[in-house]
Amino acid sequence: MNASAKPERTRLSAEDWEDAALKLIADQGVGALAVEALARQLGVTKGSFYWHFRTREALLQAALERWEQYGEREVISQIEAMPDPRARLPELFRRVAHEIAPHRVYAALLKALDHPQVVPVMARVSQRRMEFLTNIYREAGLAPDEALNRARLTYAAYVGFLQLNFTLGLPRISHEEFDAYVEHMIKTLTPG
Amino acid sequence: MNASAKPERTRLSAEDWEDAALKLIADQGVGALAVEALARQLGVTKGSFYWHFRTREALLQAALERWEQYGEREVISQIEAMPDPRARLPELFRRVAHEIAPHRVYAALLKALDHPQVVPVMARVSQRRMEFLTNIYREAGLAPDEALNRARLTYAAYVGFLQLNFTLGLPRISHEEFDAYVEHMIKTLTPG
DNA sequence: GGCAATCCATACTCGTCCGTATGGTTACTG
DNA sequence: CAGTAACCATACGGACGAGTATGGATTGCC
């Protein structure tokens, strides 16, 4: 019942700090990323931190890069492996809608877009996802420009949903209502 | 060529501070709302501030309430005055898409949803707008639950667009492209 | 023109957080 | 079992921002 989630650890690595940083970002946002707070949470002091990282900024950078690398799930490859292109969109929507945990860091980063360090990361990640979405729409039968615009619309709806629902807790939607919303979204945004 | 935007002002009122606060929030976010910075921008010192407000928190509160009252444009009443219900949605979309300035505070507040003071304000404002949207969709012919879900989707797309485009500068979209996107959005999200 | 009330400046205190300096402790290695 | 490298604690310096104290300036009013 220590302050740390993993109480029995003797020595830490840089990766441990990065993971802890991402967890803290997901919980309280980028602004709450303070080295003394992190150290307390890990059961050590600042002395440890400044051995692994030159500065707080360096930790943020490392954590972001780590997230960008490993955070991009294999969802993409799994979806692309599906034989029927028209079946990919509904599957993608339902998947994303029901896996909330992996999106918490993205939602937190979305609120830190004034921070110079997160902007390029978010730009790259969002760009890749949008291109992926655009491809799916093209393979589902949309013309190139239509596919691009539909991808923009879909991704904007995704981002907005993140903000409105588990950052703001807007209309405390029930499970059944939520499922109905997802199906409505599929019906509205899927061609055909 | 002073530091202040309006150099020739002798005495300030509480409303002046609130307006300046909202301007600063729109420009640099809620986190940048510091009293000394604000004072510099207004050409005075902290001594002035603490006469008008008991604390920084009080200023934020007052500014948010001011924004909630006067920020809700008369767009709503203008749209509702339109005779043809089916013509309201395209008009609303085009309007919102081309008036960027009034949405800058909303976008900034969207990034401050971890702050306890902004959450209730944003909840109320977003709720009202969603209800407004839901009504329009119903009047355009959608069934009640369909109208609600479509309103959710539309509003999420709006919120997401704010984040992706003038917070992140995502794909530096051109004017023509943007107009095409808006029309695509109208075609996709408008019933019939 | 004098007197309050209003408004603002200056000069502090205090807490927080980043970063540094330095010495101690644990683990690895020959 | 040394000795060296990796890891961590303690203590400090300094920047920055909120809030307080107090006196000065300005405005409106009688």
Q: Is the pLDDT of residue B50 over 90?
A: yes
Total count of domains within chain A = 2
Rounded Cα–Cα distance for residues B61 and B56 (Å): 9
Alpha carbon B39 to its chain centroid, in Å, reads: 24
Quick one: A61 and A86 in the same domain? no
Q: Report yes or no: A188 at the B interface, CB cutoff 8 Å.
A: yes
Of B68, B100, B130, the residue that ends a domain is B68
Q: Would you state the pLDDT for residue A134?
A: 97
* Higher pLDDT among residues A76 and B166, named by residue: A76
Closest C1' nucleotide to B50's CA: D19
Contacts of B146 (CB under 8 A, 6+ apart): A184, B137
Q: Would you state the pLDDT for residue B1?
A: 37
Rounded Cα–Cα distance for residues A186 and A191 (Å): 9
Taking contacts as CB-CB distances below 8 angstroms, the residues of chain B near A120 are: none
Rounded Cα–Cα distance for residues A149 and A155 (Å): 10
Quick one: A153 and A102 in the same domain? yes
Evaluate whether residue B49 is within a structural domain. Answer: yes
Query: How many beta-carbon pairs under 8 angstroms link A with B?
Result: 122
* Higher pLDDT among residues B64 and A6, named by residue: B64
Assign B138 a pLDDT band (cuts: 50, 70, 90): very high
Evaluate whether residue A2 is within a structural domain. Answer: no
Largest Cα–Cα separation, chain B: 60
**DSSP label of A102:** G
Rounded Cα–Cα distance for residues A28 and B130 (Å): 27
In this prediction, residues B37-47 reach a mean pLDDT of 96
Question: CA–CA distance from B61 to each of B53, B71, B114 (Å)?
Answer: 10, 15, 15
Quick one: A81 and A147 in the same domain? yes
Q: Would you state the pLDDT for residue B80?
A: 86
In this prediction, residues A58-76 reach a mean pLDDT of 89
Evaluate whether residue A98 is within a structural domain. Answer: yes
Of A68, A92, A112, the residue that ends a domain is A68
Side chain identity, residue A7: P
Token pair in block for residue A179: 């499922």
Cα B125-B127-B131 angle, rounded to 5 deg: 120
Number of residues written out for chain A: 192
Q: Would you state the pLDDT for residue B4?
A: 33
B4 Cβ contacts chain C strand, under 7 Å: no
Please state, rounded to an integer, the average pLDDT across all residues of chain B. Answer: 91
Q: Which long-range contacts (CB under 8 A, 24 or more apart) does B33-37 make?
A: B33/B59, B33/B60, B35/B59
Quick one: A59 and A25 in the same domain? yes
Quick one: B100 and B62 in the same domain? no
In this prediction, residues A170-189 reach a mean pLDDT of 91
The integer distance in angstroms from the CA atom of A51 to the C1' atom of D5 is: 13
Cβ burial of A148 (10 Å; 0-12, 13-18, 19+) is buried
Evaluate whether residue B1 is within a structural domain. Answer: no
Looking from the CA of A29 toward its CB, the CA atoms found within 13 Å total 16
Q: Which domain holds residue A172?
A: 73-189
Evaluate whether residue B105 is within a structural domain. Answer: yes
Evaluate whether residue B2 is within a structural domain. Answer: no
Max mean pLDDT among A7-16, A17-26, A63-72, B94-103 falls in A17-26
Quick one: A152 and A175 in the same domain? yes
Rounded Cα–Cα distance for residues A22 and A41 (Å): 13
Evaluate whether residue A127 is within a structural domain. Answer: yes
Q: Would you state the pLDDT for residue B88?
A: 94
Candidate from B112, B146, B159 with C-beta closest to A184: B146
Quick one: B173 and B138 in the same domain? yes
Q: Would you state the pLDDT for residue A4?
A: 33
The integer distance in angstroms from the CA atom of B13 to the C1' atom of C1 is: 28
Judge whether B118 and B30 are in contact, CB under 8 Å.
yes
Q: Is the pLDDT of residue A1 over 60?
A: no
Quick one: B179 and B160 in the same domain? yes
Q: Among residues of chain B, what percentage have pLDDT more than 70? A: 94
- Number of CB atoms found within 10 A of residue B121's CB: 17
Judge whether B56 and B35 are in contact, CB under 8 Å.
yes
Closest C1' nucleotide to B47's CA: C8
Select from B16, B189, B9, B192 the least CA-distant residue to B93: B189
Q: Would you state the pLDDT for residue B101?
A: 83
Q: Per residue in A79-100, pLDDT tens?
A: 989 999 889 999 999 999 988 8
Judge whether A126 and B170 are in contact, CB under 8 Å.
yes
Rounded Cα–Cα distance for residues B95 and B116 (Å): 31
Interchain contact, B159 vs A155, CB within 8 Å: no
Q: Is the pLDDT of residue A173 over 90?
A: no
Q: Is the pLDDT of residue B8 over 70?
A: no
In this prediction, residues A56-62 reach a mean pLDDT of 98
Candidate from A130, A157, A168 with C-beta closest to B157: A157
Q: Is the pLDDT of residue B59 over 80?
A: yes
Q: Is the pLDDT of residue B49 over 60?
A: yes
Interchain contact, B156 vs A170, CB within 8 Å: no
Kindly report the CATH number assigned to the domain that includes residue B45. 1.10.10.60
The integer distance in angstroms from the CA atom of B12 to the C1' atom of D26 is: 12
Of B25, B49, B68, the residue that ends a domain is B68
Quick one: A178 and A98 in the same domain? yes
3-state secondary structure of A169: coil
Quick one: A64 and A79 in the same domain? no
Rounded Cα–Cα distance for residues B117 and B107 (Å): 16
Q: Is the pLDDT of residue B6 over 80?
A: no
Quick one: B49 and B132 in the same domain? no
Residue A83 φ/ψ, nearest 5 degrees: -65, -45
Please name the residue whose C-alpha is nearest to the C1' of nucleotide D24. Answer: B47
Judge whether B160 and A156 are in contact, CB under 8 Å.
yes
Quick one: A83 and A64 in the same domain? no
Q: Would you state the pLDDT for residue B99?
A: 87
Range scoring the smallest mean pLDDT among A53-67, A72-86, A136-150 = A72-86
Rounded Cα–Cα distance for residues B36 and B21 (Å): 12
Judge whether A66 and A22 are in contact, CB under 8 Å.
yes
Assign A17 a pLDDT band (cuts: 50, 70, 90): very high
Evaluate whether residue B43 is within a structural domain. Answer: yes
Question: CA–CA distance from B177 to each of A153, A155, B67 (Å)?
Answer: 13, 17, 32
Look-up of token digits 């629902």:
A165
